[in-house]
Amino acid sequence: MAASASSLLAAPASSSCGAISPQLPRGAPAAASVASPSRHSCYLLRASPSRRHRSRFVANAAPTMQPPAESRVSTVVDVDLGDRSYPIYIGAGLLDEPDLLQRQHVHGKRVLVVTNTTVAPLYLDKVTWALTHNNLNVSVESVILPDGEKYKNMDTLMKVFDKAVESRFDRRCTFVALGGGVIGDMCGFAAAAFLRGVNFIQIPTTLMAQVDSSVGGKTGINHPLGKNLIGAFYQPQCVLIDTNTLNTLPDRELASGIAEVVKYGLIRDAPFFEWQEKNMPKLLAREPNALAYAIKRSCENKAEVVAQDEKESGLRATLNLGHTFGHAIETGTGYGAWLHGEAVAAGTVMATDMSHRLGWIDDSIRKRVVDILKQAKLPIAPPETMTVEKFKNIMASCKPKGRGRRN
């Protein structure tokens, strides 16, 4: 059975604004800081001779495939969803390893890589090589979408379908998402809908996508009135995280991803939060071990939540901490003006402040949240243009009817 990690704070599933209540006694220090990943004894970690870690949330886990022993994969996190289980491979240089994609996860002979105008010049050739090297059986085509949150819409999605239909892809093809969360969400939704569902692989290239959006199967597009309102739950075959892709990521995008890393610490992993408080300068300086650990712990936390509540009937809503306010900021300022993680950071401070005012947490926790987000150089307040009225209007128009979520 999957054990829950200790939390500094926890969002009650019923909390529509993602406000937070304490799991620890007020003012109590968070649990001891992380000396090594193996302190998380609730996971079964198995180190191979190549010192690879495998994290698995064990209830009735289906067997998943192993990468070759000489692989650059340093960590495998299994997302345990019965017959929809899949591995998250994490390591530096995984795109230089054709076997990983080819042997285990590409279905059929035809692959459509979905990417954008920024990522294509950086990584499309590499991915095409990884898919086709020594493999005459696979042909790769690509569709290069315009870059940006403002293009996460029906018109852009249609370009993926146009390409797949014009190229006569059939149901045995594989869609590969190469890019950040915008590409991952759109490609995943396209894979869910094309011919009622085709094989799908995530190759996330932003920190945001590596720690959050590529894992868990939420896919979709925005509506002018609200974020991610149109979509599907659709799980990939695998997630392949080559941490070297972060070398080309702009600093502002790196910081945006850190907002979601902080979230895991707050909602369910106090030792991870304390580790971040001590190691934020290393994360911002892209120290490889620190980044690899943050990605691994984030994926483990997300995988554990998703394995327990895939379709968000309760626990998964904790992953939305700060997002109700954050999504309102993104919608209200125009998609793309604020990065997703920036809006989530300001939203997290608002949720924390609300929890404090409701008497659920004490001021020391609120201050720690503000401090860590400041350390990460993330915004800690919404823009002035977001008046109370504007928040209320947007949040009301996006609110789901009855039980349910909207992230």
Ligand X SMILES: NC(=O)c1ccc[n+]([C@@H]2O[C@H](COP(=O)([O-])OP(=O)(O)OC[C@H]3O[C@@H](n4cnc5c(N)ncnc54)[C@H](O)[C@@H]3O)[C@@H](O)[C@H]2O)c1
Q: What residues make contact with ligand X under the rule CB under 6 A?
A: 116, 118-119, 122, 147, 149, 152, 179-183, 185, 205-206, 208-209, 212-213, 216, 218, 227-228, 245, 248-249, 253, 256, 340
Q: Which three-class secondary structure state does DSSP give residue 218?
A: strand
Considering the candidates 312, 366, 368, 407, report the single residue annotated as catalytic: 312
Measured at CB, which residue is nearest to ligand X?
A: 181
Considering the candidates 70, 196, 289, 384, report the single residue annotated as catalytic: 196
Rounded Cα distance between 76 and 54, Å, is: 5
Rounded Cα distance between 20 and 8, Å, is: 10
Tell me, yes or no, if 163 is annotated catalytic.
no
Helix or strand holding residue 308 (H, E): helix 288-308
Tell me, yes or no, if 327 is annotated catalytic.
yes
Q: Which is nearer to ligand X, 280 or 305 (CB)?
A: 305
Q: Which residues contact 280 (CB under 8 A, 6 or more apart)?
A: 258, 372, 375, 376
Q: Which is nearer to ligand X, 50 or 248 (CB)?
A: 248
Least spacing, CB of residue 25 vs ligand X, in Å: 31
Residue 261 carries which side chain, given as an amino acid letter? V
Q: Which is nearer to ligand X, 341 or 382 (CB)?
A: 341
Least spacing, CB of residue 357 vs ligand X, in Å: 27
Name the token pair of 38. Answer: 């193996």
Sign of the CA dihedral running 148, 401, 328, 397: positive
Q: Which is nearer to ligand X, 24 or 229 (CB)?
A: 229
Tell me, yes or no, if 367 is annotated catalytic.
no
Least spacing, CB of residue 244 vs ligand X, in Å: 9
Name the token pair of 72. Answer: 């650059």
Least spacing, CB of residue 11 vs ligand X, in Å: 16
Q: For residue 129, what are the CA distances in angstroms to 63, 98, 138, 333?
A: 29, 8, 11, 40
Tell me, yes or no, if 52 is annotated catalytic.
no
Considering the candidates 296, 327, 356, 368, report the single residue annotated as catalytic: 327
Tell me which residue has tokens 């609200």: 226
Q: Which is nearer to ligand X, 74 or 245 (CB)?
A: 245
Rounded Cα distance between 173 and 164, Å, is: 10
Question: What is the set of active-site residues?
Answer: 196, 218, 260, 302, 312, 316, 320, 323, 327, 340
